[in-house]
Amino acid sequence: MNLERGTVSTRTMEIAVALLIMGLGAVVMYDNWRIGARWGEYGPQAGYFPFYIGVMIFAASTIVFLQAVFSRKPRQPFAEPAQLKSIMSLVVPTIIYIGVVYAIGIYIASAIYLAYFMRVLGRYPWRTIAPIAICVPAVLFMLFEIWFLVPLPKGPVEDFFGY
């Protein structure tokens, strides 16, 4: 099957994810071997059970990897360029948002994030955006900081108001 240029096939993705999970399995095995994965004086050591979990992750993903490499099934599209682009338009701002949360606190960052998405993706007029972008973080602030007393990351603006 001929696919459009720039299209990622399912097989490529399966190989990539299998490699990633093989790496994860290796990390799990490595760290648990480090803290001891054998039978100690008083029974199994701390890494005993997780080490074998790591072995199973590695083995299972290796089989998935081999199945994908030697697969004779026709190539299936995983995502087309347009689809990848629209996913990136969500993923990239979200990654920036997570970084910004640590700098200026979750409430201000959420207000900006909400406003950005409503404007760029939703194309709402500013008079709809402003109340929502301000009220939702404000309500969340009341809910978590004041009623449920759950501390979330805060920045200079919250400091200014004494929280």
Q: Which parts of this chain interact with other proteins (CB under 8 A)? A: 21, 24-25, 27-28, 31-32, 35-36, 45-47, 49-50, 53-54, 56-57, 60-61, 63-64, 67, 79, 83, 86-87, 89-91, 121, 148
Shortest reach from residue 54's CB to other proteins, in Å:
7
Q: Considering the complex, state which of residue 9 and residue 67 has its C-beta at the smaller distance from other proteins.
A: 67
Tokens 């080490």, residue?
A: 51
Q: Considering the complex, state which of residue 57 and residue 108 has its C-beta at the smaller distance from other proteins.
A: 57
Shortest reach from residue 41's CB to other proteins, in Å:
11
Going by C-alpha positions, the residue among 71, 75, 52, 69 that lies closest to residue 18 is 69
**DSSP character for 74?**
P
**DSSP character for 1?**
-
Going by C-alpha positions, the residue among 148, 146, 149, 140 that lies closest to residue 106 is 140
| Alpha carbon distance 129, 119 (integer Å) | 7
Q: Considering the complex, state which of residue 45 and residue 112 has its C-beta at the smaller distance from other proteins.
A: 45
Q: Considering the complex, state which of residue 64 and residue 115 has its C-beta at the smaller distance from other proteins.
A: 64
Shortest reach from residue 159's CB to other proteins, in Å:
22
